[in-house]
Structure 1
Amino acid sequence: MTVLQAIVLGIVQGLAEFLPISSSAHLILVPWFLGWSPSGLAFDLALHAGTLIAVTIYFWRDLIHLAVEGLTKGTRTPTGKLAWGIVLGTVPGAIFGYLMEDVVEAVFRQSVLSIAILLAAVGFILYLADRLGPKRRSLEEIRVVDVIWIGLAQALAVIPGVSRSGATITAALALGLKREAAAKVSFLLGWPIILGGALLVIPDADPSMFTPAFFAGVAAAAVSGYAVIAMLLQYLQRGTYLVFAGYRGIVAAFAIILLLVRGM
C-alpha cells in the first residue's frame, strides 16, 4: 500500500466513522471501486486508532466529566445516567463483535452485494427515524435504558454496510432524541468500542506493518475525523440526516450497477 492510498483510506475512515454512512463499507468499497488491493481488516482496525484520537481530543472534557460523575454520583444525575448507560451499552457490541468477527470476515466483508443492500436498507430506516421520530428530548433527558437500547443497535455495526453511527443515531432518533443529541450520544458511546477495535490489532501486530503509510493513514483519519465531528454537530443545529440516507442509497445503487457491469 502506498502512502497516498493510506491517506485516502484514512480520510475515508475519518469521514465515514462519524457520519452515518458506514466506515467499514467504504473501506471495502473504495479500494474495490479504484481497483486497489484490499486494505485488510488489520489496517482497517488500525485506522480506528486515528478516529479514536479524534473523538478523544474533541470530547476529552466530556469523557472526564462522564467518568467523574459516573463514579461519584452513579445514576443520580443526567451525566451519571449517560455514563452508566455507555458502560452497559458497550457490552452488546463487544460481545457481538468478538463472537461474529470470523463470520463477518468470511461472509460480509467478501460480498459487495450484501454491503450495498445493507447500505440501502439502513439508509431507509434512518430516513424513517429522522422523518418520524419526535426529536424532543435533549441529552440531559436521556435514561440509562435508552443508551442500552442504542448500544444494542451499535452491536449490529460489526456488519459492513450497517454503520456504527448510522445504527446508533437511528436508534436514538427512534427513542425521541433531538438530532444533535443523537449524534453526541453516538460519538460518546462509540469511544469505548472504537478503543476496543484499535486494541484488537495489538496482539497480532507485526512490526513490519508500522510503515510510513500506516502512520500517514492514522494521521489522516485523526484529522478528518475531528473535522467531521465539529462540522456535523454544527450542521445538525438546523440540518437533517436525510442527506446521509440519500447518499447511502446512491452508493448502494452505484455498487450494484458496477457489479452488473463487471459481471460479478
Structure 2
Amino acid sequence: MIRFKETLIRQSSDVIRWLDGTGREGQKNPVLNALQIDLDDDLAVKGLSLLHKPGVSIIWRSQLPNAEQLQRTAEPGRATEIQMARPAETPYQLKGTVRDPAGQFNPRTFITDCGNNSYPQIALYRSVVGTRLSQNKSLQGLLRYQKQADESEARPASWALVTLQVDLAGTGDSYIFNAQADINGYFQIPVTRLSVAMLTAGFSAELSVKADKAQAGGLFPDPDQMTAMQIALADGGVFADTQTVLAANQNHRLTLGFVADETRVSTLELKSP
C-alpha cells in the first residue's frame, strides 16, 4: 500500500499592527478591541482578505502573478527549503477605514504600503469616553478654527491631533503625550507617569496641534495626513506654533491648564501657519 502525505503551505502577505497612540509617546500598546476594517473598492491589488486577531490584521492574497505564486513540485520526497520559501511580492498600497464598534477609539482612514511582511503599524486614538485619565494630571481644551468673515460661527477642529511636551526641571527628563480631539473639537490628554512631586519641582510644557481644515466632522479622518497649525487662546491670543501650558496648585493638587487659575476647559483657536 502506498501512502501519500500532503502539506499545505499558506503564507500571509503582511500583518497590520493596530496600536493605541493615546497618552505617553513610546508606550504604544496593541488595540485589543474587535475592530471593523473596510478596504477601499478601488485597490490596485485584488483578491485581498483580512483575518482579524487581537491587535493585528493578517492579509491574505488569493490572486498573485504567476512569478509570485508558491513553487510546487510533483516529484516524490521532501520539499526543499527553496520550494517552501515565501515568494517575493511586489509591494502594494492598502487603503481603507477602521472603526471601533465599542466606541473606545475614534474612527480613521488609513493608507499604508504592504507586502513581504513589512508589518506596518497604524495608530488609533482613544475617544473621549475611552480615554483613561490620571487623577489631577490631564490637560483638556476645546479647539476651534479661526472664524472667517463668511462664517456665522467658528468651526470645530474635528479630529485634530494634540501633542503635549513636558520638560522636568528636577530630572531633565522630557515626556511627550498625544491625544485626538472628538468631532466637536474637545480633547483631553492623559498625563500619566508624572507625579505631583515631579511637577511641583518645576517643569515647562507646550502644546502643539495638527489638523486638516478640509476635514468635515462627519467624515473619517486620516491623522497621518494632518499638518501643523498655529494656535492661540481664544479672544485675542497671539498665534504661535505652540501654546505654553502652566500649572495651578489648588488645595495641594496640581492641575495643568492654559492660564494660572485654570479651572475650566479653555477654548483655543487654530489657523494655518
**TM-score interval (norm. to shorter):** under 0.3
TM-score by length of 1: 0.24
TM-score by length of 2: 0.23
Higher RCO, 1 vs 2 (CA within 8 Å, ≥6 residues apart): 1
Q: Which has the higher helix share?
A: 1
Bigger radius of gyration? 2
Q: Which has the higher strand share?
A: 2
